[in-house]
Amino acid sequence: MKVFISWSKNKSRDMAYILRELLQSFGLEAFVSEKDILAGEAVQSKISAHIKNCDILVLCFTNDNKKSPWLLYEAGLACGLNKKVIPILFDTDHNWTSWIDNPMNFAREINVQSANFDDVFIKAFALPDNQFIRDALKVFLSKIDIVRDNYRKVDIQCEDFVEKLASIDSFHVQSPEYKDKVAYFYTGFETLELWNEIVNSFMYSGKYLWIYGRKNMKLVLHHKQLFQYLKEKADTYNMQGIDFKCLFLDPASDEVQHAHKDQDIFPSELMSTIKRANHLIGDNPTFQQCFRKYSHKREEVIIRLDNCIIYSKPQFDENGCPPIMTNSMFQVFSASSSQGKEACHKYEEIWSEASPMY
């Protein structure tokens, strides 16, 4: 059997090399352009010839090459020749099943991170199901993990959440950028879209959700289902397995005068939001303990979502007032990183000094 392995960009190329080695160990003839075209050979004609002569064309997909014109071209040529095309997903892709977001979604994929990867791979390539094959697939997956780690832009604890944010149009203005395992988003902070992703990521499977807010209006007004979920957890399980903390600015504190530029609306909005929150929280003492109020100047915004920290640092004007934070810059980094540990420690300090809401 002849297999043509299509790749685009460095990470996908390295995955293709490992796949080529695996298939060759099974006695299959596997072609990768970077490895199998010699100096002086006509690249395009040799690629076209190998696609025409192959039995299967494999597309190596990573999180940075899904819409690659080169993959589209090679896949289109193979489909036009009625070749069997197998997309292999080396990274998690939440939009893979979307025809709009994924022009490559025309053939059933193999996901290397799925629980039944071995079974699907063996069947797709018509391999014998024996221990040698399954052991080789285990080694293959371990090598793929090494490549994935080498190209990881953020720590693995944040990768899934950052990938979800990166797929949202609201955050696409020159972002995200990555440096030292930190994702920098230049827009989108405290937007409803961000809160939607935070709440959706936390509900039913999350453990940690710590919020260092002011009035938390978007949370209270638009995510009543979160309060209902947490209230049920408090009533039924005494919040066991969930660490939820939410900080409000104390409406009786002097800081209210400096916490927002628009003093005509901020104090009344703060009071109104707290009243709404009280209604949602109810009278369960366990759930009530999850809320506290602070009275100091908030110089940074910290949200912990499981092992991710969503962080922003406001710049104050000459009067000491922060700007409107909605749609501002923010960062995402791991709670286990040095920055993450510092942010968690800072939050816990603030929490310990804050006053009970009830």
> How is the beta sheet containing 2-6 ordered, strand by strand?
29-32, 2-6, 56-61, 84-89, 110-111
Task: Please state the rounded mean pLDDT for residues 176-189.
Answer: 92
Instruction: Specify the CATH number for the domain of residue 123.
Output: 3.40.50.10140
Do residues 263 and 170 both lie within one domain? yes
Q: What is the pTM of this model?
A: 0.74
**Closest alpha carbon to 56 in 87, 21, 35, 34:** 87
What pLDDT is stored for residue 100 in this prediction?
Answer: 47
Residues 6 and 70 in one domain: yes
**pLDDT per residue as tens digits for the range 285-344:** 999 999 999 999 999 999 999 999 999 998 877 777 777 788 889 999 999 999 999 999
- Tell me what the pLDDT averaged over the chain comes to: 90
Does residue 160 carry a pLDDT above 90? no
Alpha-helix runs per DSSP H in 153-223: 156-166, 192-202, 217-222
Which residue range forms the structural domain that includes residue 74? 2-151
Pull the structure tokens for residue 53: 């002569």
In this predicted structure, the answer to whether residue 101 has a pLDDT above a threshold of 60 is no
How large is the C-alpha radius of gyration of the chain? 26
Same domain, 331 and 256: yes
Angle between helices 10-25 and 131-151 (to 10 degrees): 170
Q: Same domain, yes or no, for 189 and 104?
A: no
Domain endpoint, select from 120, 151, 182 = 151
pLDDT digits (tens, 9 = 90+) for 234-282: 999 999 999 999 999 999 999 998 888 777 789 999 999 999 999 999 9
Q: Do 280 and 345 fall within a single domain? A: yes
Q: How many domains does the chain have?
A: 2
79 and 16 part of one domain: yes
Say if residue 117 is in the same domain as residue 206. Answer: no
How far apart are alpha carbons 341 and 307 in whole angstroms? 10
Neighbours of 241 (CB within 10 A): 9
Task: Tell the residue number behind the tokens 């944010």, with chain if given.
Answer: 165
Please indicate, yes or no, whether residues 136 and 251 belong to a single structural domain of this protein.
no
Which residue from 125, 120, 123, 64 is spatially nearest to 92, judged by alpha carbons? 64
pLDDT tens-digit map of 47-67: 899 999 999 999 999 988 877
